[in-house]
Protein backbone atom coordinates (compact mmCIF):
# COMPACT_ATOMS: atom_id res chain seq x y z
CA UNK A 1 0.00 0.00 0.00
CA UNK A 2 1.31 3.42 -0.97
CA UNK A 3 1.88 5.70 2.02
CA UNK A 4 3.01 9.33 1.95
CA UNK A 5 3.69 11.05 5.26
CA UNK A 6 4.03 14.82 5.01
CA UNK A 7 5.79 16.75 7.74
CA UNK A 8 7.67 19.95 8.49
CA UNK A 9 4.90 22.51 8.43
CA UNK A 10 4.49 25.21 11.04
CA UNK A 11 4.26 28.91 11.76
CA UNK A 12 6.93 31.09 10.16
CA UNK A 13 7.36 34.84 9.80
CA UNK A 14 7.24 36.55 6.42
CA UNK A 15 10.62 36.27 4.76
CA UNK A 16 11.43 33.12 6.68
CA UNK A 17 12.21 29.60 5.52
CA UNK A 18 10.81 26.14 6.08
CA UNK A 19 11.60 22.68 4.75
CA UNK A 20 8.84 20.16 4.16
CA UNK A 21 9.46 16.43 3.98
CA UNK A 22 7.45 13.55 2.62
CA UNK A 23 8.37 10.01 3.61
CA UNK A 24 7.21 7.46 1.05
CA UNK A 25 6.65 3.73 1.35
CA UNK A 26 4.86 0.91 -0.42
CA UNK A 27 6.33 1.50 -3.88
CA UNK A 28 9.66 1.82 -5.68
CA UNK A 29 10.20 5.48 -4.93
CA UNK A 30 12.86 6.25 -7.52
CA UNK A 31 10.64 5.04 -10.35
CA UNK A 32 7.99 7.70 -9.95
CA UNK A 33 7.80 11.44 -10.32
CA UNK A 34 6.57 13.30 -7.25
CA UNK A 35 5.07 16.70 -6.63
CA UNK A 36 3.72 19.21 -4.15
CA UNK A 37 0.24 20.68 -4.34
CA UNK A 38 -1.07 23.29 -1.92
CA UNK A 39 -4.47 24.40 -0.75
CA UNK A 40 -5.00 27.74 0.92
CA UNK A 41 -7.63 27.72 3.70
CA UNK A 42 -11.07 27.33 2.16
CA UNK A 43 -9.68 27.49 -1.37
CA UNK A 44 -8.95 25.14 -4.26
CA UNK A 45 -5.88 23.17 -5.28
CA UNK A 46 -2.74 24.80 -6.68
CA UNK A 47 0.16 22.85 -8.16
CA UNK A 48 3.47 24.04 -6.69
CA UNK A 49 6.32 21.89 -7.91
CA UNK A 50 7.30 18.51 -9.32
CA UNK A 51 10.39 16.38 -9.79
CA UNK A 52 11.26 13.45 -12.01
CA UNK A 53 11.98 10.03 -10.57
CA UNK A 54 15.71 10.46 -10.90
CA UNK A 55 15.60 13.94 -9.44
CA UNK A 56 17.39 15.40 -12.45
CA UNK A 57 14.41 17.39 -13.71
CA UNK A 58 12.51 19.85 -11.55
CA UNK A 59 9.51 22.04 -12.29
CA UNK A 60 7.90 25.02 -10.53
CA UNK A 61 4.81 27.15 -10.67
CA UNK A 62 5.54 30.77 -11.50
CA UNK A 63 4.29 31.79 -8.06
CA UNK A 64 7.12 29.96 -6.28
CA UNK A 65 9.86 29.84 -8.91
CA UNK A 66 13.11 31.18 -7.47
CA UNK A 67 11.92 30.84 -3.87
CA UNK A 68 11.13 27.13 -3.50
CA UNK A 69 13.38 24.16 -4.27
CA UNK A 70 12.14 20.62 -4.68
CA UNK A 71 14.48 17.69 -4.18
CA UNK A 72 14.44 14.01 -3.34
CA UNK A 73 16.68 11.46 -1.68
CA UNK A 74 15.94 8.15 -3.35
CA UNK A 75 18.13 6.30 -0.83
CA UNK A 76 15.82 7.53 1.94
CA UNK A 77 12.55 7.41 -0.04
CA UNK A 78 11.96 11.01 0.89
CA UNK A 79 10.76 14.09 -0.98
CA UNK A 80 11.57 17.62 0.14
CA UNK A 81 10.40 21.15 -0.47
CA UNK A 82 12.69 23.93 0.68
CA UNK A 83 10.68 27.13 0.96
CA UNK A 84 12.50 30.46 1.25
CA UNK A 85 11.33 34.08 1.27
CA UNK A 86 7.93 32.98 2.46
CA UNK A 87 4.96 35.30 2.03
CA UNK A 88 1.52 35.45 3.56
CA UNK A 89 0.14 34.13 0.28
CA UNK A 90 2.10 30.90 0.78
CA UNK A 91 -0.10 30.01 3.75
CA UNK A 92 -1.70 26.68 2.86
CA UNK A 93 -1.95 22.98 3.49
CA UNK A 94 0.85 21.40 1.45
CA UNK A 95 0.31 17.92 0.05
CA UNK A 96 2.98 15.71 -1.38
CA UNK A 97 1.72 13.54 -4.18
CA UNK A 98 2.92 10.64 -6.30
CA UNK A 99 2.62 10.51 -10.07
CA UNK A 100 1.69 7.22 -11.78
CA UNK A 101 4.78 7.34 -13.98
CA UNK A 102 8.18 8.93 -14.25
CA UNK A 103 6.51 12.08 -15.54
CA UNK A 104 4.40 14.29 -13.23
CA UNK A 105 1.26 14.61 -15.35
CA UNK A 106 -1.23 13.98 -12.56
CA UNK A 107 -1.18 12.37 -9.13
CA UNK A 108 -2.57 9.02 -8.04
CA UNK A 109 -1.64 9.06 -4.34
CA UNK A 110 -1.54 11.92 -1.87
CA UNK A 111 -0.19 12.54 1.62
CA UNK A 112 -2.36 13.88 4.40
CA UNK A 113 -0.89 17.35 4.10
CA UNK A 114 1.20 19.59 6.34
CA UNK A 115 0.06 23.09 7.26
CA UNK A 116 2.28 26.10 6.60
CA UNK A 117 1.25 29.39 8.15
CA UNK A 118 3.16 32.54 7.24
CA UNK A 119 2.37 35.32 9.67
CA UNK A 120 4.05 37.84 11.91
CA UNK B 1 -1.22 29.48 -18.60
CA UNK B 2 -4.25 27.30 -19.29
CA UNK B 3 -7.18 28.37 -17.11
CA UNK B 4 -9.62 25.67 -16.03
CA UNK B 5 -13.17 26.73 -15.21
CA UNK B 6 -15.65 24.46 -13.42
CA UNK B 7 -19.40 24.82 -13.24
CA UNK B 8 -21.52 25.01 -11.32
CA UNK B 9 -19.69 26.07 -8.18
CA UNK B 10 -22.24 24.16 -6.11
CA UNK B 11 -24.55 21.36 -7.21
CA UNK B 12 -27.42 20.24 -4.99
CA UNK B 13 -28.47 16.67 -5.69
CA UNK B 14 -30.61 14.09 -3.93
CA UNK B 15 -29.14 10.66 -3.14
CA UNK B 16 -29.74 8.29 -6.02
CA UNK B 17 -29.93 11.06 -8.57
CA UNK B 18 -27.46 11.80 -11.36
CA UNK B 19 -24.91 14.59 -11.07
CA UNK B 20 -23.31 16.28 -14.06
CA UNK B 21 -20.21 18.42 -13.49
CA UNK B 22 -18.54 20.53 -16.16
CA UNK B 23 -14.96 21.62 -16.73
CA UNK B 24 -13.87 23.99 -19.46
CA UNK B 25 -10.31 24.80 -20.54
CA UNK B 26 -9.23 28.19 -21.90
CA UNK B 27 -7.48 26.36 -24.74
CA UNK B 28 -7.40 22.80 -25.98
CA UNK B 29 -5.90 20.23 -23.62
CA UNK B 30 -6.67 17.23 -25.82
CA UNK B 31 -7.62 14.36 -23.52
CA UNK B 32 -5.03 15.32 -20.92
CA UNK B 33 -7.46 15.87 -18.10
CA UNK B 34 -7.86 14.36 -14.65
CA UNK B 35 -10.64 14.54 -12.08
CA UNK B 36 -10.22 14.37 -8.32
CA UNK B 37 -12.61 14.02 -5.39
CA UNK B 38 -11.91 15.73 -2.07
CA UNK B 39 -13.94 15.14 1.07
CA UNK B 40 -13.74 17.52 4.06
CA UNK B 41 -10.51 17.08 6.00
CA UNK B 42 -9.11 14.61 3.49
CA UNK B 43 -6.56 14.68 0.71
CA UNK B 44 -7.76 14.61 -2.89
CA UNK B 45 -8.33 11.24 -4.54
CA UNK B 46 -7.76 10.57 -8.23
CA UNK B 47 -10.97 9.52 -9.98
CA UNK B 48 -10.35 9.86 -13.71
CA UNK B 49 -7.35 10.42 -15.98
CA UNK B 50 -7.06 10.70 -19.73
CA UNK B 51 -10.47 12.41 -19.58
CA UNK B 52 -12.34 9.09 -19.36
CA UNK B 53 -10.25 6.35 -17.72
CA UNK B 54 -11.25 5.46 -14.19
CA UNK B 55 -8.41 5.17 -11.68
CA UNK B 56 -7.89 1.95 -9.77
CA UNK B 57 -10.75 1.13 -7.43
CA UNK B 58 -13.08 3.86 -8.64
CA UNK B 59 -16.70 2.65 -8.97
CA UNK B 60 -18.25 2.60 -12.43
CA UNK B 61 -20.93 5.10 -11.41
CA UNK B 62 -18.20 7.70 -12.07
CA UNK B 63 -17.63 8.44 -15.74
CA UNK B 64 -15.67 11.11 -17.55
CA UNK B 65 -15.99 12.35 -21.09
CA UNK B 66 -14.91 15.14 -23.39
CA UNK B 67 -11.86 16.38 -25.22
CA UNK B 68 -10.37 19.65 -26.34
CA UNK B 69 -11.89 22.33 -24.13
CA UNK B 70 -15.10 20.76 -22.80
CA UNK B 71 -15.21 17.96 -20.23
CA UNK B 72 -17.88 16.33 -18.11
CA UNK B 73 -17.85 14.17 -15.00
CA UNK B 74 -21.04 12.22 -14.40
CA UNK B 75 -21.95 10.44 -11.19
CA UNK B 76 -24.78 8.21 -12.31
CA UNK B 77 -26.48 7.56 -8.96
CA UNK B 78 -25.19 9.58 -6.05
CA UNK B 79 -24.29 7.68 -2.91
CA UNK B 80 -23.86 9.32 0.49
CA UNK B 81 -20.08 8.99 0.23
CA UNK B 82 -20.03 10.94 -3.06
CA UNK B 83 -20.91 14.27 -1.52
CA UNK B 84 -17.62 16.14 -1.82
CA UNK B 85 -15.74 18.72 -3.86
CA UNK B 86 -14.58 17.71 -7.33
CA UNK B 87 -11.65 19.24 -9.18
CA UNK B 88 -10.48 18.92 -12.76
CA UNK B 89 -6.81 19.28 -13.67
CA UNK B 90 -5.15 19.65 -17.06
CA UNK B 91 -1.75 18.22 -17.86
CA UNK B 92 -1.54 19.00 -21.55
CA UNK B 93 0.57 22.05 -20.70
CA UNK B 94 2.87 19.90 -18.58
CA UNK B 95 4.89 20.71 -16.53
CA UNK B 96 2.61 23.65 -15.80
CA UNK B 97 -0.34 21.85 -14.26
CA UNK B 98 -3.53 23.76 -13.48
CA UNK B 99 -6.65 22.90 -11.51
CA UNK B 100 -10.17 24.14 -11.83
CA UNK B 101 -11.80 25.97 -8.96
CA UNK B 102 -13.89 22.97 -7.93
CA UNK B 103 -17.53 21.96 -7.81
CA UNK B 104 -19.09 21.16 -4.46
CA UNK B 105 -21.71 18.42 -4.65
CA UNK B 106 -24.05 18.79 -1.71
CA UNK B 107 -27.11 16.97 -0.47
CA UNK B 108 -30.38 18.46 -1.67
Collapsing DSSP to helix, strand or coil, B80 comes out as: helix
Per-residue pLDDT in tens (0 to 9) along chain A, 120 residues: 999 999 999 999 999 999 999 999 999 999 999 999 999 999 999 999 999 999 999 999 999 999 999 999 999 999 999 999 999 999 999 999 999 998 889 999 999 999 999 999
Percentage of residues in chain B having pLDDT higher than 90: 95
**For B60, which DSSP code?**
T
Of A47, A104, A108, which has the smallest distance from its Cβ to B55's Cβ? A108
Q: For residue B94, what pLDDT is reported?
A: 86
B86 vs B36: CA distance, rounded Å: 6
Alpha-carbon radius of gyration of chain A: 13
Q: Are A9 and A16 within 8 A, CB to CB?
A: no
Q: For residue B30, what pLDDT is reported?
A: 97
Of B43, B89, B100, which has the smallest distance from its Cβ to A106's Cβ? B89
Q: Are B1 and B95 within 8 A, CB to CB?
A: no
Cβ contact, residue pair B44, A110, below 8 Å: yes
Residues of chain B with pLDDT under 50: none
Q: For residue A104, what pLDDT is reported?
A: 86
Cβ contact, residue pair A105, B91, below 8 Å: yes
Q: What is the pLDDT of residues B67-92, one digit of tens each?
A: 999 999 999 999 999 999 999 999 99
Residues of A in contact with B87 (CB under 8 A): 44-45
Find the closest chain A residue to B85 by CA distance: A44
DSSP helix, strand, coil percent of chain B (3-state; round to 5): 5, 50, 50
Amino acid sequence: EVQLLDSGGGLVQPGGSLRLSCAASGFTFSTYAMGWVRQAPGKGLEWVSAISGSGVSTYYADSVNGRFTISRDNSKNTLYLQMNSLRAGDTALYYCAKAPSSWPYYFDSWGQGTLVTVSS
Amino acid sequence: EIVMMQSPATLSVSPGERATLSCRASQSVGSNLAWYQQKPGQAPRLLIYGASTRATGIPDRFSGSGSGTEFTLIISSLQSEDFAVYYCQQYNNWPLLTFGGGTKVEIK
